[in-house]
Amino acid sequence: MKRNYKKQYLLYSVALSLLVSCSGPAEQKAEAGDSTSTAKAMIPDAKNFEGEVNGKAVKLYTLKNSKGVNVAITNYGGRVVSLMVPDNKGNLTDVVLGYDSVKTYQKPKEPFFGAIIGRYGNRIRKGKFSLDGKAYQLDINDGVNTLHGGFKGFYSQVFDATQVNDTTLNLTYVSKDGEGGYPGTLTTKVIYTLTGENGLKIDYTATTDKTTIVNLTNHAYFNLNGAGDSTILDNLVKINADNITPVDTTLIPTGKLLPVKGTPFDFTTAKAIGANINDKDDQLKNGKGYDHNFALNKHDGKTSVATISSPKTGIVMDIFTEEPGLQFYSGNFLTGATHDGKGGKAYPHRSAFCVETQHFPDAPNESSFASTVLKPGQTYHTSTTYKFSTK
């Protein structure tokens, strides 16, 4: 019997076309500058981030550069939802923990995944400080202290957003006088830029109409093995800091500097996060692992202050900042109790680390620390870049 091969080929082509067109928008072939790459990178579904929070519209924005790197950011909390960078085989890997919908970010006790932190990053002792002879009381949301701006910190606010182009997103937020207990109306602008060198640059600017304090940062949770991997203890860390600011049992700095030499905190040469994390050490006990501010030796924005790398993926992250401190946190409070992470994954104990560039914690109460006071007529500005490469 003669077969109509031309007709069969046509039917096969149509079927294949339908199959491809039915692929979900969350799957894209990863190029990452390598035309031979066959990896599939999961991009968050923008529909899950559409809606209203606090009466304002929220949305997911995606930045991408010419090398195939992309970052997804929601204006709810200015959060980095995903960050896709190439591994040493050219496959795109999401290195930031997060959720698949904006609703999940609003759950109680959500751990600040990817958020812009303000007005004040890190802790303030008992939520108290004084300016010009007047005492202020902030929200107490972390034991006896204030953490990351209190109950109404920037992580829970909706920023006004403008995507300038494929690589730049502008976010603005006006924090009213008295919000969270902070004085002055603070107008904040945050610019996310995805550079051609695979860097995620974050520029922070703020002005005030009344003397206040400000310390802005980003709280991305990284795992260079890939988001959802069970551990970061094998990630290698180098921090250009000879001292940390030791803390008490409530994680408030004592006001002194502690040399890292001869301690588990010596990352002046690269070592695995897990190398000394279980050592018997009072500071590790206080932090339940690493949760400490490193006093950076140099912070000119041009010199890498820290380098982290994964032996599994070969991904390397260098950090550049103008801030004097770097909070290194080893994910000690992650539990993996639920599977509500991206792709239904759990985020277990120490499955991510944070590297928050900052002025020192509790600086308003420590005269020896660099000031975080901002006055009318002054402009707060700082810049941090997380730059990715491979080895």
Q: Which residues are catalytic?
A: 219, 356
**Cα 246 from chain centroid (whole Å):** 23
Spatial CA neighbour of 234 closest among 219, 249, 224: 224
Do strands 186-194 and 199-208 pair parallel, antiparallel, or not at all (unpaired)? Answer: antiparallel
Element (H, E) at 162: strand 160-165
**Residue 8 CB neighbour total at 10 angstroms:** 10
**Residue 289 CB neighbour total at 10 angstroms:** 23
Ramachandran angles phi, psi of 389, nearest 5°:
-150, -170
How much of the chain is in helix, strand and coil states, percent to nearest 5?
15, 35, 50
Q: Which residues are bridge partners to 57 per DSSP?
A: 52
Question: And the tokens for 265?
Answer: 């905190």
| Opening angle at CA 161, ends 159 and 162, nearest 5 | 165
3-class secondary structure, 248: coil
Q: How far apart are alpha carbons 291 and 286 in whole angstroms?
A: 9
**CA distances for 168 relative to 6, 87, 111, 162, 193, angstroms:** 49, 23, 26, 9, 5
Spatial CA neighbour of 385 closest among 268, 302, 295: 302
Question: And the tokens for 167?
Answer: 């690589």
Are 219 and 90 a contacting pair, CB within 8 Å? no
Question: And the tokens for 246?
Answer: 């030791």
**Residue 78 CB neighbour total at 10 angstroms:** 28
Question: And the tokens for 192?
Answer: 């996310």
Element (H, E) at 285: helix 282-287
